[in-house]
Structure 1
């Protein structure tokens, strides 16, 4: 098969969950003999085209500001990319064109290209935003975003959802169940097994973008409660984002500077796993999540997970309370209580750790790439 994956950012120049997912699947499909290309915003210097682990990546547009000053998606980057795509892909025949459904401009652009080039179009739904758009963009922009998201559900019958929750959301929008395939994100066990614990030891670790939806203020406010019982508590924060300065200001305001290490963006994924292995608990206080890679990686690295159970956070589909982690609300008292419970109870922590390692084995990227390949072939047979 000849496959085009269209995205805004491309690994390794952006190391987010969707970028890693695209790369892990693409490189495995290449090893199976398929011709895979990834198209997106050019975030690197030099030639517009490169080969990364056998995968051909293409920089279509050069507008690099993917997030605005408030840490929210900048609509110009995907819009410019989507306008250039038809010209860039003109005359290029692909069997499959895949794009993430959260990037609406790309959805409409790839729909047009698939019709012109007679390709099969596949959308990947990392999450369905729905009413969350109203909180994220405000009433006017949020209502427009909701309408556009609803419209994208009519563009293709081929939908991959990375969680059952996303699939159920599509069903509420009128998408038939037969047009939805749930295929989870995965973990690279060769990476996990090769990483050794870092010399730096932490109690808690967070990995992700420092933006509104990740809700790091909840973690900071929870730590402010915890330091009374754990005066030597250490927290590792890996990631960059527009909220960084505000978060550091809040930490200084509460006098918590000695408890937090902000390591910034760590592109070396093996190093990230090393930091996980030298920590006790993985924390994810997000308002909204699809199926983040970090929770499976954390379990595979031997960490129990503490995350929030909210209307827009799908991680509770993977994290089972008292099994491989603990679930909380968006309340700092509840969150800090769950952390305290695990820090004070090594026996429980080890139990959740063992369970997490076992559960994570079902999410190997090799098996998931096989599922993707089978799904693509089924789509082509329709």
Structure 2
């Protein structure tokens, strides 16, 4: 019997790149093969008609494409409200078996919950990260108090929450979410696709792949390369990805006079090309201090045979993803000098090739999207076998 799933997230993959939407897309690809019909309700980030079908998923435009981030690289409050209002106009959502909503941008969870009461659908929220008071205030200033309140209220809007890290699961419980309401399902990767990709580009010492946003601290990595130059080590870095910080980072590279060391590739739509470029590097550096823990790119780097260097930070890469000295390394101090020192130590003292071959790839293999998709299918099937209705 055909089951119906509605994805609720404003940024549709692959038209908009990003870890959260990629997760929703990959889960959908697995479910399509398990007698699920999948429709994605998003803002119109594609050319052509308002309703299209791509790779088996039906994409429905609930509103026009709009700028998600302001000039400072932060989410526009109006956009989050706009998407919520747009979702509220699609009453047909109540007829789906499952509504799977990405956590952000929060406001859309309100009409989704109402649709549950109006029909048969069950609302499941993929909760990627808990911000908490400090981050809300630093991000929005005094208005962040409203965000904190919204986070606390909406995290309890449904008894069906999926956390992508064990830490995230604990944080949700700290917000008051029932332990029984939260299920842990980690991020995943296409292990076969990564394994079959070959090195087809110039080789670099370091690589970063991801969004170029301030909390990713890619500027720390650029400054670390400059510091390594000053130490007499000519280290090269390739940066894969785009975002609001790109112009600032390019200006920083020129200011530090390291244009020969750093190359910006921008966003790469082809996964195969991205993996091929990653494999042409020795070390993956991910200095982010706000990941919600479950970084897909860390898993992809390991699958490419690259150990990962990241900051030790409470809101950074989750502990379960990196085992010190096995598939990666943590830097205790959050600054470019400490990052440079760690990279230099690893290049001088550690047999990175052996670590990559023996540990990183094996660690990543268990996170294949097939395994993650099956966990979702089992989870949804269990929900549908319960009494009909919102809960």
| 2:361 paired with 1:357 | yes
Structure 1: runs of 5+ lacking an equivalent: none
Q: For 2:38, what is the secondary structure of its paired residue?
A: strand
Post-superposition CA distance 1:95-150 (Å, at most 9, x none): 11111223211111211222222311111111111121112222x12111111000
- Any residues of structure 2 matched to 1:206-221 within 5 Å, and which? 206-221=208-223
Q: For 2:16, what is the secondary structure of its paired residue?
A: coil
Verify the 8 A CA contact 1:299 1:353 in the aligned structure 2. Answer: no
| 2:164 paired with 1:162 | yes
Counterpart of 1:147 in structure 2 is 149
Cα distance, 1:348 vs. partner?
4.1
Q: For 1:104, what is the secondary structure of its paired residue?
A: coil
Q: TM-score, normalised by structure 2?
A: 0.94
Post-superposition CA distance 1:62-84 (Å, at most 9, x none): 13211111111122223212112
- Any residues of structure 2 matched to 1:1-382 within 5 Å, and which? 1-90=3-92, 93-131=95-133, 132-138=135-141, 140-229=142-231, 231-290=233-292, 291-328=294-331, 329-345=333-349, 347-382=351-386
Give the Cα separation in 2 of the matches to 1:36 and 1:230.
54
Cα distance, 1:232 vs. partner?
2.8
Post-superposition CA distance 1:260-304 (Å, at most 9, x none): 101111111111100111001111111200211100000001000
Give the Cα separation in 2 of the matches to 1:133 and 1:200.
41
Bigger Cα displacement from structure 2, 165-174 vs 89-98: 89-98
Bigger Cα displacement from structure 2, 316-325 vs 259-268: 316-325
| Cα 1:323–1:184 shift into 2, 3 Å | same
Number of aligned residue pairs: give it.
381
Cα distance, 1:230 vs. partner?
5.0
Verify the 8 A CA contact 1:321 1:327 in the aligned structure 2. Answer: yes
Give the Cα separation in 2 of the matches to 1:64 and 1:197.
37
Give the Cα separation in 1 of the matches to 2:326 and 2:147.
37
Give the Cα separation in 1 of the matches to 2:373 and 2:171.
24
Give the Cα separation in 2 of the matches to 1:330 and 1:293.
22
Structure 2: runs of 5+ lacking an equivalent: 387-391
Give the Cα separation in 1 of the matches to 2:240 and 2:385.
43
Give the Cα separation in 1 of the matches to 2:275 and 2:232.
25
Cα distance, 1:349 vs. partner?
4.6
